[in-house]
Amino acid sequence: MKRLLFVLLLFLTTLCYGQQFGGNPPSLKWKQVNTPQAKVIFPKGLDSTAMLVANIISSFAPVVQPTLGNKQKQVSIVLQNQTTTSNAYVGLAPFRSEFYLMPSQNSFELGSLNWPAQLAIHEYRHVQQYNNFNVGLSHVLRVLFGQGGQALGNELSIPNWFFEGDAVYNETLVSQQGRGRLPYFFSGYRAIWAAGRNYTWMKLRNGSYRDFIPDHYPLGYMMVAYGREKYGSDFWGKVTHDAAAFNTGLYPLQHAVKTYTGLKYDQFRIAAFDHFKKQFAADPLLPTLKNKHFTGNEEYPAFVNDSTLVFVRSTYDDIPKFIIHTGAKERALAVQHINNDNYFTYNNGQIIYAGYRPDPRWGYRTYSELVVLDLSTGKEHRITRKTRYYSAAFSADNKKIIAVDVSTLGKSTLHVLNANGTLQQAVPNPGGLFYTYPKFYGDKKVLTAVRNQKGQMSLALININTGSAKYLLPFSYEPIGFPTVFKDAVYYTKTIGKEDNLYVTSLTDGRTAMLEPGKNKFIGAYQPAVTSGKLAWVGMTATGFKIQEEQRGELLTGTIAKQQLNNISIDALNTDTAANRIAAVVTSPLLVTRYSKAHNLFNFHSLFPTINDPNYSIALVGDNVINTFTSELSLAYNRDEGYKRVGYTATYGGLYPFISAGANYTLDRKGFYKGSNIFYNETDLHAGLQVPLDFTVGKTSTFLNFGSSVYYTQSRFQEAYRTLFADRHYTYLSNFISFSNQIQKARKNINPRFAQSVTITYKNAIAGLNANQFLASGSLYLPGLSINHSLVLSGAHQQSGKNNGIGFSNNFPFSKGYTAENLDNMNKFSASYHFPIAYPDAGFGNLYYLLRLRGYLFYDHTHATDGSFLLNGKPFNTNFRSAGAALFFDGKVFNQGAVSFGIRYSYLLDPDLFGGNGRNRIELVLPVSIF
């Protein structure tokens, strides 16, 4: 299928945020607060959160805006509180933002700031970026094609590392924390540098199937921070203005950097890296082997006894599994349930952790349910349903469980459960704390890391009955996490300056010691596990997170270092006029009004052209802000028939079934009669219902989608043919059901190692004519001979009624290489074997990067009959068999857009009766997603 690269890039740019169409139940009532910068739309009950977000944006936006430009257009921000995911985005087509309000338990990764406040700081910087990147050629594309046109222009001119690096710099600048002050944020690059891995720029930008490569966030921060420090606060504003405007031609940002620094782009980025390498020059040389690739992450170790550890391992070849390790021996216990976080705890033969589960219908409503794994039997069972629990841990006798409950209103509460998951007690929270990683300390207290309203952290002993807190450390912006209680001491990780180190604090006298310098072989020390004679922890290496296990002895010595804010030698973070701006924010009351679900329902935002020869079309697309209504007004031309079509389709997803409707009017449809062309005009009307369901739970993702639509078609012959043919009209139903089920897929798996998909459609005329068509198709995905190999068995059956008065569209998956025809009865069997060939990790000119070369072998067998079609004087009854191979290239264009394409060779074992000569066929293939 051939499509314009233009459309492909628009798709990559605008549809990568994971929005859920119709994802909220209709019972959710929406409100709004308005400021010149943002319209904050939120569910009832989140008034204070919405006001906080609006006030923060109003306070800091004018101060930081001049560094990019002075353009400002109000954005709509939707606060999503039903999800258990910590995330957010700002996007064009349409221009809107969504905040997923669930804070993360891991304060080292994203920080400990008030989560809605951090999202306001970070995401609004993206708003300012889009507002000020609407210049030059990007603006011309917007005029021509709407917001999607600007999205394309910005995608081609501004790399994703700048978008995220600039936003991370902003969160670091205007607060006293931000990821630019967190050692964890730099740990991946520190590990690569310490191991002497000198990866190419294209590899750092595009990633790898073989080696660990950090994402573009820390890379972007280092580039942005160095540019601000070296060339001033307005440097990136000038660079990105010229780049988005395409003032400098091909490679617009690279040339703009040279314009304002006098350095070639590669010289600039090397200088940026060198600046940060100097900050971590004291890092130990990591014990990694030459040419050794990513071997997998080992996380959350727990001692079964002094000689045995249990932990989670996840590799590029395999999905996360619980591993039990003794000496040189280890075995896999079980695959971990689908989850948002690999965290688990162990006690007395049992593991407990939180598994992810979505609501079947409402995509924004998800749950975090507790799962218990018994090590002796290997059996697992969920003990809670439709809960929002995190960081669960057993009591000493396994009769009780402590877990963090986070409500849809953002309140954090410690829940005490019995072993079956039944709530026994909700611990009061008079201080409004946010709890992370709680552990029992005796029967009446809980030891937990806590965040206050400002985002400062401490360790606290919480009285289960009263909720009163005894703080073991002074509050600071330096993250604390992963506490584990052993006897009368708590072991934990804490940030001090540029390091995340291990500490132990006595729960009797308060004395604190730290892991002795030089004892840690890795970057950072996280997730401590303790037993009577040993201490284990996790650190970052160039081949993934690894476990270090040592005799406990004298590892922990000295006293805790003086707390200090980590600036990583970027003076502007303290001297800029916007430094720590968030501290001056006053949450003023704002007018709260009702937000109508019908507001700006059509919201046409982009014009998308498509070439799918012989079909050419252009569509005006609209989506409302709360993502419940999508519509499309289109013009199309078919080169084969020469017809012109105007159409409109719309879908409303705010109720349990999706409701869709549309109309098309086609001019100059062409037919063939007695050796001459005949022409007619056609009117199509349709309406239908569809129910998409997500039954994902445990270790498999399962989806069911079914629906039915009614179509009315009227054909009116043009004047010259009206004496020969009467106008006709007919009505038919189109029904479908699709099902898919698959286990989790590792990064290098070409296909899931076990999966099934089935689709059934049935079309039946109900008025005007007699016609029907039945199509069933499905595939079974099985493991191959090696871990990333895959065997796929597929089948299909299509049956059309005799003497059909309607030529229904043909979606039968015909044998590869043949010209397909819509015949009465078709049956197909197919087998294909998929395998990786090589992982080149190579590219050219920052234009294309090849990550993987893969192939497959196939055999297709289609048998078809048709009573109305005579072949050599006999009713049509023949085979269409083919065999061949394909070669696929998985890579990225412009260092960020994922693209796969292939070349397929088919050898036809039977004649191609409907087109083409010869047995050999070569085709260009652009693959689509399996599910």
pLDDT of residue 558: 66
Residue 519 lies in a domain: no
pLDDT of residue 930: 36
Same domain as 241, residue 110? yes
Same domain as 163, residue 94? yes
Query: Which of these three, 690, 714, 742, is where a domain ends?
Result: 690
Query: Which of these three, 553, 588, 623, is where a domain ends?
Result: 588
Tracing tokens 């050629």 back to the chain, one arrives at 137
Same domain as 217, residue 177? yes
Q: Which amino acid is at 221?
A: Y
Question: CA 293 to CA 815: how far, in whole Å?
Answer: 40
pLDDT of residue 291: 65
Query: Which of these three, 560, 588, 616, is where a domain ends?
Result: 588
Average pLDDT, consecutive stretches of 10 residues, N- to C-terminus, the chain (931 residues): 39 51 96 97 97 96 93 97 97 97 97 97 98 97 97 96 98 96 97 94 97 97 97 97 93 96 97 96 71 90 96 97 94 95 97 97 97 95 97 98 97 98 98 98 97 97 97 96 97 95 94 88 96 95 95 73 73 90 91 96 95 89 97 93 94 98 92 73 96 97 98 89 82 97 97 97 93 96 97 97 79 93 93 98 95 98 86 85 98 93 97 88 72 31
Please, which residues bridge with residue 761 across strands? Answer: 736, 775
Same domain as 143, residue 222? yes
- Using DSSP's 3-state secondary structure scheme, residue 391 falls into strand
Sign of CA dihedral 711, 712, 718, 722: positive
Residue 706 lies in a domain: no
pLDDT of residue 15: 40
Phi, psi (5° rounding) for residue 110? -115, -10
Residue 128 lies in a domain: yes
pLDDT of residue 7: 39
Q: Which amino acid is at 102?
A: M
What are the E-state strand segments in 801-873? Answer: 825-838, 842-844, 848-871
- Using DSSP's 3-state secondary structure scheme, residue 866 falls into strand
Residue 423 lies in a domain: no
Task: Output the domain CATH number for residue 167.
Answer: 1.10.390
Which contacts (CB < 8 Å, 24+ apart) does range 215-219 have? 216/159, 216/160, 216/161, 216/164, 216/165, 216/896, 217/161, 217/164, 217/165, 217/168, 217/179, 217/185, 218/179, 218/185, 218/186, 218/188, 218/189, 219/161, 219/165, 219/189
Same domain as 754, residue 666? no
Same domain as 919, residue 859? yes
Cα–Cα distance list, 580 to 170, 548, 574 (Å): 10, 37, 8
pLDDT of residue 810: 85
pLDDT of residue 931: 31
Residue 231 lies in a domain: yes
For residue 614, whether the previous peptide bond is cis, meaning omega lies within 30 degrees of 0, is yes
Same domain as 766, residue 685? no
Kindly state the tokens that stand for 560: 């805790």
Question: CA 422 to CA 401: how far, in whole Å?
Answer: 10
For residues 313 and 298, the answer to whether their CB atoms sit within 8 Å is yes
Same domain as 642, residue 741? no
Residue 659 lies in a domain: yes
Same domain as 743, residue 664? no
Same domain as 665, residue 582? no
Contacts of residue 589, defined as CB under 8 A and 6 or more positions apart, other chains included, come to 51
Can you give the pTM of this predicted structure? 0.95
* Structural domain count of the chain: 3
Same domain as 86, residue 52? yes
Residue 696 lies in a domain: no
Kindly state the tokens that stand for 114: 């008030």
Question: Residue 671 belongs to what domain range?
Answer: 602-690
- Using DSSP's 3-state secondary structure scheme, residue 133 falls into coil
Same domain as 911, residue 818? yes
Residue 704 lies in a domain: no
Question: CA 201 to CA 193: how far, in whole Å?
Answer: 14
Pinpoint the alpha helices (H) of 102-215: 107-110, 115-132, 136-145, 147-157, 160-173, 183-194, 201-206
| b/e sequence 639-672, b meaning 16+ C-beta within 10 Å | eeeebebebebbbbbbeebbbbbbebebebbeee
